[in-house]
Amino acid sequence: MRILIAEDNALLREGLVLLLTSEGHRVCAAVEHGDDLLPALLDHRPDIAVIDVRLPPGFRDEGLRAAVEARRRLPGLPVLILSQYVERAYATELLARSATGVGYLLKDRVGRAEEFLQALRRVADGGTAMDPEVITHLMARHTAHDPLAALTPREREVLALMAEGHSNPAIARLLFIAESSVNKHVGGIFTKLGMPAPDTGHRRVLAVLTYLRALADR
């Protein structure tokens, strides 16, 4: 994959370059300044961009704003956002247009190389990779018009793990339940969210999109 990195911390930036190139990927650009990010994205058009939310000069939301604008100009551009903390407003803005090919990880997740690489691959393939802590914070608020209100607590757990990118067998292991039970819960989720019957893979994506957008609207 051709990957663009935007990270102002030199050690983390170089560490990401080393990790990704050692896995056979090509880092087409590595920028550290917010003003350089959007031009680099438009110039290189990478397969995926790994972007820190806060970049100089303001260290506020330069990375996020550039990512949103890049996805507007390059529809479908996969973006994996990194953040030191859970910042709800940034996650909401990122998910506002589309939740396909989007990831939001806390930076300590990058230190777990295999988890980070798995998330990178999922996002590059058009999936999602949401940090469990981000999902927990987004779920903390409630809305009267919650499309997820019909789901049982267990179905919400299953859907949250789907949003993190886990397969049904992995969800079964994480929840210590049978895979057949997971399949039943997933079927219930599809039905209650009004997902169309054909193409289970497509329904899975639609369910995750509904879930993430509902959280972003809270």
Query: Mean pLDDT per 10-residue run, the chain (218 residues)?
Result: 94 92 95 91 94 87 84 88 73 64 83 87 86 68 64 89 85 91 90 70 72 67
Which one of 3.30.479.30, 3.60.21.10, 3.40.190.290, 1.10.10.10 gives the CATH number of domain 153-216? 1.10.10.10
User: Which pLDDT value is given to residue 69?
Assistant: 85
Are 189 and 207 contacting, i.e. CB atoms less than 8 angstroms apart? yes
The widest CA-to-CA distance across the chain, in whole angstroms, is 52
What is the token pair recorded at 85?
A: 């903390």
Nearest in space to 78 (alpha carbons), one of 12, 112, 9, 125: 125
Report pLDDT for 192. Answer: 84
The answer to whether the predicted template modeling score (pTM) of the entire model surpasses 0.75 is: no
The answer to whether the CB of 35 falls within 8 A of the CB of 66 is no
Contact 37, 15 (CB under 8 A): no
Ordered by start, the domain boundaries in the chain are 2-138, 153-216
pLDDT at 80: 93
Judge whether 16 and 50 are in contact, CB under 8 Å: yes
Which superfamily does 2-138 belong to? Response regulator (3.40.50.2300)
